[in-house]
Amino acid sequence: MVKLDRFEIIFDNPESAYFAGQEVSGKVVIESSEDKKVNEILLEIKGRAKTYWSKGTGKNRKHCGQSEPYFCEQFNTKYTHKFSVSSGSNKHEKERILPKGFHEVPFQYTLPKTLPTSFEGSYGYVRYTCRAICERPWDFDICTKKLFTVIGIEDMNDDSKLTTPITCQDTCLSPLTTVSKLCCFKNSDSQQVFLELSTDRLGFTPGETLSLKGKVENKGRSILKNVNISLIQEVLYKAKNFSGLEFEKKECKVILKRNVGEIKGMSTFDLSNSPASDITFVSLPPSLSTCSLIIITYKVVLSISQQSSIYIPIKIGTIPLLGEIITKHIKNNNKTKNINSNNNIKSLQKKSDVKVTVTDECGITVKATPTPSRSNEHSEVDESELMLPNNNDDAVGKSLLLTNGTTTIKKRVRMASSILSEIYPQLPPPFFKESFFGPVNVIDDKEEGYFGDKSFTPKYPVYFDEE
């Protein structure tokens, strides 16, 4: 079996993350040390949701599964057509010989606008894949696969319930910004505890901080120790069995759990006095409003042991509330301009020994300002000293490389999106951070011996700079 030295897919976007409706572009890279017979180089790009699990054991074991396709486009790149040669003595028969060396096959595809966000769960996923196939005569095809992240439009500004502060008290677990409950439980000293929990809004994006308010009123004499604040993710999977009967499976994950401290008897504890009341959302998958098979919800829970609890439902989105993000972005820009102004003055007085290169998505070098030289050339490079061109907005979304001797550091930068610019021109482009849950195996049993990554980690947008 003839093999290739290199066969991979490289996206022009270094983050491999795209908003729904955005154009995906890249290239298929082929490298071979000898000529190869290749009929066609085919490309397939697709997206779908899938759920799967098993019920029962032994002879009673039944499988549940369902798939929801979003798109599947197949292209013939026709790259090998220019390498057609006559086959043997028959001049009318043509065969295609891919010459040895390095080859790049470009591609592009515009994503549909209604796609859900990429998600990887225990019993299902929303997955987007780009696959290239070297179709060879009288031999097995060679395949390479690469996954990419799609960010669905989950706009926190569209739902007034998420943006309007509501102050209300109720004894039931209703979706309100303030809930309260009077609970009784038995221990060595039967007592009553009053719980109250509130927040000013319900919609957030990763990187934002939720500041909880409320109180725990201990009406008994015993000390309460197991009072916790938790952030919980609940995922509901839907599927069908072979007979077409519908089933559901629920999965709960505790993202974080914090103890608020001891609460003495006959006292009231104000939650705002506890560090546990501030929750910064890590990189989490948002709601999947356009996916019918997987439903993701979040809630913040105030609990006493396992005997009683109240909760507030929280929605994670991909586009934050505009008021706060724009205000903070303006402040950060003003601060950055002051820092760059001071650094530019220093750079005129010292010779630079560190070269900063800014490249666009096509690899073309963009003019950049060198950083001031350092007294100790062996010291670590501070990423905060990397300076973009004076017009910071023009540098947004570029890939920044710092070269110091043989050391190369890739600096995280904001990735611009034409889709976001159309919806909200004032919204700053986000960073992308890998999912809190880490990588998952994406190899199917039938995909042994192919090129490409064996694992994948979705990325989600973060608009707020880390403090």
Q: Which domain holds residue 355?
A: 322-416
- Does 361 share its domain with 291? no
Q: For residue range 44-98, list pLDDT tens digits in order.
A: 999 999 999 998 888 888 899 999 999 999 989 888 888 876 565 555 567 788 8
B/e letters for 264-295, b = 16+ CB within 10 Å, e = fewer, are: eeeeebebeebebbebebbbbbbbbbbbebbb
For the ranges 125-134, 206-215, 247-256, 447-456, the lowest mean pLDDT is seen at: 447-456
Asked if residue 467 is part of any domain, the answer here is no
- For 381, which DSSP code? P
Asked if residue 276 is part of any domain, the answer here is yes
Q: Residue 424 — very low, low, confident or very high, per pLDDT cuts 50/70/90?
A: confident
**Residue that terminates a domain, selected from 256, 288, 316:** 316
Asked if residue 371 is part of any domain, the answer here is yes
- Does 58 share its domain with 147? yes
Question: If you average pLDDT over every residue of the chain, what do you get?
Answer: 77
Amino acid at 259: N
Close Cβ partners of 412 (under 8 Å, ≥ 6 residues apart): 431
- Does 265 share its domain with 247? yes
Asked if residue 428 is part of any domain, the answer here is no
**Residue that terminates a domain, selected from 271, 287, 316:** 316
Q: Residue 432 — very low, low, confident or very high, per pLDDT cuts 50/70/90?
A: very high
Q: Phi first, then psi: what are they for 162, rounded to 5°?
A: -85, -20
Close Cβ partners of 38 (under 8 Å, ≥ 6 residues apart): 80, 96, 97, 98, 134, 135, 136
- Does 140 share its domain with 164? no
Asked if residue 173 is part of any domain, the answer here is yes
CATH of the domain at 17: 2.60.40.640
- Does 443 share its domain with 366? no
Please tell me which residue, 340 or 74, carries the higher pLDDT value.
Answer: 74
Asked if residue 165 is part of any domain, the answer here is yes
For the ranges 84-88, 340-344, 362-366, the lowest mean pLDDT is seen at: 362-366
- Does 363 share its domain with 451? no
445 CB neighbour count, 10 Å cutoff: 5
- Does 191 share its domain with 148? no
Asked if residue 423 is part of any domain, the answer here is no
Q: For residue range 256-297, list pLDDT tens digits in order.
A: 999 988 888 889 989 888 888 899 999 999 999 999 999 999
- Does 297 share its domain with 326? no
**Residue that terminates a domain, selected from 316, 342, 361:** 316
d(CA 278, CA 271): 10
Amino acid at 334: N
- Does 177 share its domain with 220? yes
- Does 164 share its domain with 308? yes
Closest CA to 94 of 146, 40, 23: 40
Cα–Cα–Cα angle for 231, 233, 238, rounded to 5 degrees: 165
- Does 145 share its domain with 237? no
- Does 119 share its domain with 235? no
Mean pLDDT for the stretch of residues 429-446: 87
Domains of the chain: total? 3
48: which 2 tokens? 């779908």
Asked if residue 426 is part of any domain, the answer here is no
Which range, 119-128, 316-325, 334-343, is most confident?
A: 119-128
